[in-house]
Amino acid sequence: MRTRIDKENAPKLQALWEQVFGDKAEAIAMFLNGCKALADVYVYEQGGEIASALYVLPASMVLAGAQTRAGYIYAAATLPRARGQGIMSRLLKEAAAGAAEDGLSFLTLRPANSPLFDYYAKHGYDTIYKAAPRVFSKEALAAVTVPGGKEAKATPAFVSGALKDAFADRPGSLLWEADMLIYQLAIHAYYGGKAVAADTPAGKTAALYFEEKDRITCLDPIASRESFPYLCEALGRETGGKPIWMRLPVGLVGKETQTDQEPVGMACPVTGSLSQMKDAFLPLTME
């Protein structure tokens, strides 16, 4: 059943989330409260509780030179006792039908583990999104750094603009509007994450990262080939010389071999075509 988050179903959705993912109640409430006006939720009730659910978050992507509406499937979950009954398969079909009704170009998602790539492939999803992990030492970062970017605050509006500047010319890349980024930036900060942003001659650029004991983890740098050197300058300034592990868009700093790339996300065509996608990237998916 397709619905929206409301005061009646929110406690049941929170209970499902807690049982499946084990997140803190405060963090779950941040999503349910922050996205109730934005997200569609598909639910299956059993025995007076929500046994399975998935959320479709609003996003967009550029295809054939035009911005189109897309969806991102998030927090798909089924209670352990209800698994093996085909319930999630049913919800995925309902989500695909809802996306077609709404005229979305694609549904996208990031599988939580390797076996789920095969599971979602059975439901019409293709492994389109890949990334190239790379570690930059202090010296390696300095070698690609270009000064000249103006420090900026990573607000939802700025990060949304950075996504468009960085990835609009990579057809099929997921773009988020500021209203969705309010939650994404808030939950990142809740878990101790930091952000850096810069306005550069090559466009807006930004990155969310986590500072660990021995390194910096930057999952999704938001940068084009031209703005990436400016982002490196900003990251180096903010992170104090620690090695930085980045999950880079393919081709951002050179041509990687297939063995240098790892699958990170999938897309299911609704009104769009996979042939329209090229070097697409899947950023800021709240892992």
Question: If DSSP codes are grouped into helix, strand and coil, which group holds residue 154?
Answer: coil
Which residue segment(s) compose the domain that 195 sits in?
Answer: 130-249
Q: Find how far residue 98's CA is from the centre of its chain.
A: 21
Residue 253's pLDDT is: 86
Are 158 and 120 found together in one domain?
no
What residue type is assigned to position 29 of the chain?
A
Rg of the chain (C-alpha set): 19
Residue 240's pLDDT is: 87
Residue 287 lies in a domain: no
pLDDT tens sequence for the chain (287 residues): 999 999 999 999 999 999 999 999 999 999 999 999 999 999 999 999 999 999 999 999 999 999 999 999 999 999 999 999 999 999 999 999 999 999 999 999 999 999 999 999 999 999 999 999 999 999 999 999 999 999 999 999 999 999 999 999 999 999 999 999 999 999 999 999 999 999 999 999 999 999 999 999 998 899 999 999 999 999 999 998 899 999 999 989 877 666 689 999 999 999 999 999 999 999 999 87
Are 159 and 117 found together in one domain?
no
Residue 198 lies in a domain: yes
Are 137 and 106 found together in one domain?
no
**Cα distance between residue 190 and residue 79, in whole Å:** 26
Closest CA to 176 of 264, 61, 66: 61
Are 115 and 136 found together in one domain?
no
Residue 188 lies in a domain: yes
Residue 244 lies in a domain: yes
Are 30 and 120 found together in one domain?
yes
Residue 258's pLDDT is: 63
Residue linked to tokens 């021995």:
214
Residue 90 in tokens: 């049913």
**Cα distance between residue 75 and residue 175, in whole Å:** 19
Are 244 and 149 found together in one domain?
yes
Are 16 and 125 found together in one domain?
yes
Closest CA to 235 of 133, 99, 136: 136
Are 134 and 226 found together in one domain?
yes
Are 112 and 9 found together in one domain?
yes
Are 113 and 12 found together in one domain?
yes
Closest CA to 21 of 77, 87, 96: 77
Task: Order the strands of the 244-249 sheet from edge to edge.
Answer: 2-4, 40-46, 49-63, 66-78, 106-109, 262-269, 126-136, 244-249, 216-218, 203-211, 194-200, 150-152
What residue type is assigned to position 273 of the chain?
S
Can you give the CATH number for the domain in which 206 is found? 3.40.630.30
Residue 223 in tokens: 């940068």
**Cα distance between residue 37 and residue 127, in whole Å:** 30
Residue 107 lies in a domain: yes
Residue 164 in tokens: 């468009």
The predicted model scores a pTM of 0.95
Residue 260 lies in a domain: no
Residue 254 lies in a domain: no
Are 89 and 33 found together in one domain?
yes
Residue 227 in tokens: 């703005």
Residue 282 lies in a domain: no
* Domain total in the chain: 2
Are 172 and 192 found together in one domain?
yes
